[in-house]
Amino acid sequence: MIILGISGAVSHDPSAALFIDGELVAAAEEERFIRDKHAKGRFPYEATKFCLEFAGIRAEDVDVVTFPYAEISLSSPARWHYAKRHWYSPDRFLLGIFNGNRRFRRNMRQLNKLISDLNIGAGNANVVPVEHHLAHASSAYHLSGFEGKVAILGIDGKGEYATTFFGYGENGRIHKIKEFYDPDSLGGLYGAMTEYLGFEMLDGEFKVMGMAPYGDPKRFDFSRLIDYDRKTFRVNTKLANVIGPRRYKDKSGKGYYFSPKLIEWLGPKREGDEIDDPYIDYAASIQQLLEDVSLGLIDHYLGDILKESGKICFAGGVALNVKLNQRIIAHPDVEELFVQPAASDAGTAIGAASYVANELGDKIKPMQHAYLGPSYTNEQCIDACEKHEQRPKWERIENAPQRAAQILADGNPLSWFQGRMEFGPRALGNRSILGAPNVPGIADRINEQIKYRERWRPFCPSILDRVAPDMLQTDHPAPYMTFTFDVGAGWAERVPEVVHEDGTSRAQVVTQEVNPRYYELIEELEKHTGNGVILNTSLNRRGEPMVCSPTDALNMFYGSDLEYLIMEDILVIKDSIKQSVAQKKK
């Protein structure tokens, strides 16, 4: 069975994913191809073409097209809850009751146009909508490889109406236990505070998470933002998760997801790139609130299942909150947590397709890695160099990992472009900027001169699997940079550039089986540093998508202070470095 998953249901992060006989063979986000971060308002034409071309599948051979957005009937409590909670905005109240499937119909029109434009299924493909949170749930559960009864958690902004999902999976079937509906959204609340703290919703939440360790969560009581009794919760829509007439508007007329009453309570909205008082404490407080409410709800709705199985799967945008995930792992009844690496809405292309594939009788194969995008040959990398306007001088090298390790050991950042592009927001060693984490100031240099982002932002380590248990003090699987761990004694001194303010690291544990070339590079660096750890951040500048092609890599290289780029076996060094080396030799 050939099943194509298409996402883009909520106007951001469109993607495509392809399953063949239950195996995920390709997946990619549209933003990477069109170079527009989050690709808002777009559908995944280029990502779909890539998936089909990579698999050698003709568009007309697709059997089923799936989409993570379903029709919600008037009898559903979701629409009535939405209408009741938005009484203060009559247009939304009436919309929820009388035209609650408007977005569904719009999505279907756009999806059918894509199907027609690309001739998918030659006009005969079966189109199957899947509820948004079922797609999130399936993306985690069906690809986890977990057996038996498994707890399933989904938290995001919202799908059709649902914002939070509690359920379980057993024998391939997903069962709902409880859902919460808009505007009662933990993801939405965190997003509203993200806007208040000066970042863009759907993009800056991880910045709030990175800011939080600098603050004191006890300094301010944020309990007035939410009514919560360990069983249910209601967001205070006089302060946050607001629409229409309750929105705060700045001088330009731009509206935000919080109200003027929040400004009256907490003071002016944060501006600029510095982390300062009291905003660091606000970040710490909203992070603490998210963690406490989520853990309490997990105990109530999933506690019995966790006692029975110890396994939990988590998806939705909030599943990328690595500090929350650390606390879930620390839960006394949790043995293992699986977070699908593209846990936000891009991953619902995987989830919708895996859900339908399972329903149609395919046995879903567990996810082995996130390297699901395009790859490029040495010849394609050379061709990109020859055609680039900067006319880079390139060199074909014999041992790329060894040469890369020497560059890093000498104290230089390195642009590392290898193999298939990652699916999801984390660079996992194929589209990465790398550094030696023992080199003082390397993180500041990358932040300020290469990525052009806030100087306080932390960096993550990729760690050899044989080193990780000592550094992270656990053998919990961590292949996707979706968890933080407390760093073991002595490691903060050994690799200070990848240990955050609170003594934790958001780690990727690298295995030779999954990524042998990256593993070899880290081993080569270990010979110089003795650590078996490398600093790894995504190959992009602030506000841009992660690099996809060799041309993208060259544009990034020449648009920053990067000096070394290795694309497969092709080394590019900036002329300024070559001239400096030549002068030293004289």
DSSP H or E segment with residue 3: strand 2-7
Q: What radius of gyration, in Å, describes the C-alpha atoms of the chain?
A: 24
Query: Where are the alpha helices (H) located in 486-529, listed in sequence order?
Result: 491-494, 516-529
Q: Are 281 and 220 in contact (CB under 8 A)?
A: yes
Give CA–CA dist 176/116, Å, rounded. Answer: 34
In our burial notation (b when 16+ CB lie closer than 10 A, e otherwise), range 86-113 reads beebeebbebbeeebbebbeebbebbee
**12 an active-site residue?**
yes
Residue appearing with tokens 């014999």: 398
Q: Are 28 and 16 in contact (CB under 8 A)?
A: yes
> Catalytic pick from 12, 142, 369, 500?
12
Q: Are 446 and 433 in contact (CB under 8 A)?
A: yes
Give CA–CA dist 564/356, Å, rounded. Answer: 45
Give CA–CA dist 286/242, Å, rounded. Answer: 17
Neighbour count for residue 445 (Cβ, 10 Å): 18
In our burial notation (b when 16+ CB lie closer than 10 A, e otherwise), range 520-534 reads bbbbbbbeebebbbb
- The answer, yes or no, to whether the previous bond of 278 is cis (omega within 30 of 0) is yes
| β partners of residue 338 | 313
Q: Return left, alpha or beta for 77; rule: phi > 0 is left, psi -120 to 50 is alpha, else beta.
A: alpha
Q: Which of 191, 194, 188 is nearest to 211 (CA)?
A: 194
Q: Any residues with CB less than 8 A from the CB of 417 and at least 6 apart, and which?
A: 381, 430, 431, 539, 547, 550, 553, 565, 566, 567, 568
Positive or negative torsion for Cα 443, 448, 451, 456: positive
Q: Residue 63 is which amino acid? A: D
Give CA–CA dist 132/140, Å, rounded. Answer: 13
- Strands of 414-417's sheet, edge to edge? 394-396, 570-573, 564-567, 414-417, 431-435, 533-538, 460-464, 508-510
Q: Are 532 and 466 in contact (CB under 8 A)?
A: yes
Give CA–CA dist 528/222, Å, rounded. Answer: 48
**Total residue length of the chain:** 586
Q: Please give the positions annotated as active site.
A: 12
